[in-house]
Structures are given as C-alpha cells and as structure tokens.
Amino acid sequence: SAVISQKPSRDICQRGTSLTIQCQVDSQVTMMFWYRQQPGQSLTLIATANQGSEATYESGFVIDKFPISRPNLTFSTLTVSNMSPEDSSIYLCSVETQGTDTQYFGPGTRLTVL
C-alpha cells in the first residue's frame, strides 16, 4: 500500500480564517479523495480530487467552501474556507492504488475552530 502523509497533523484556528491541508503520497496514484470525520461520527466523502481538472464534490459540499487542488499524481490540497466551529473535524485524504478497488487513508488532520 502507498505511504500517505498529511500536513498539518492538527491545528486550532479562529473562525473566519482558512486552512489548507496538504496530502502527499509516495507513489503516483490515479485517484485521491478527501473525507471529513466529525466528532463521534463516521467518515463522509467531501470530494474526489481529479488531476488536471476540477474536483468532483459530493452533495452538501461546494467548491467555494472546500477548494481542492491536484497539481500532479502524488499531491493534493484541501482548503477549509471561512471556517466556523461546525468545521471542527478530522479531515482525511485517501488514495486508491492502481489496479485495486481499495482505499488507503492518510493519518488525518485534526482541526478545531474556535
């Protein structure tokens, strides 16, 4: 499986600000995804990060709030914009390695918004 890192691992932010989370993979992968895990909840898919084109967002998530970049096959960023306390969550990226239908997750970014 791929080795995935995320930065930052955690952050505490003020409402109204934005935070960009980075996801780096040690090998080229076709598909990368961003998930949110709210306190006490399971994971919810935010969007699929497409290399070279706009991300594909799930219902309830919009580009203005969660802009995503995917400049190459090993890297993606998720920005949480204009944050409010409701955005306090763990944000995880995942990758699907080529030839498989399974996803592997990064260690997550624990975000607290005050």
Partner 1 sequence: RKEVEQDPGPFNVPEGATVAFNCTYSNSASQSFFWYRQDCRKEPKLLMSVYSSGNEDGRFTAQLNRASQYISLLIRDSKLSDSATYLCVVGSGGTSYGKLTFGQGTILTVHP
- List residues near partner 1 by CB under 8 A: 1, 31, 33, 41-45, 48, 58, 92, 94, 96, 101-108, 110
* Comparison of 75 and 104: residue with beta carbon closer to partner 1: 104
Cis peptide before 107 (omega within 30 of 0): no
- Phi/psi for 85 (5° steps) reads -55, -25
* CA–CA dist 46, 1 (Å, integer): 22
* CA–CA dist 3, 107 (Å, integer): 10
At its nearest, how many Å lie between partner 1 and the CB of residue 64? 22
At its nearest, how many Å lie between partner 1 and the CB of residue 87? 19
* Comparison of 13 and 31: residue with beta carbon closer to partner 1: 31
Pair type for strands 75-80 and 56-57: unpaired
* Comparison of 56 and 72: residue with beta carbon closer to partner 1: 56
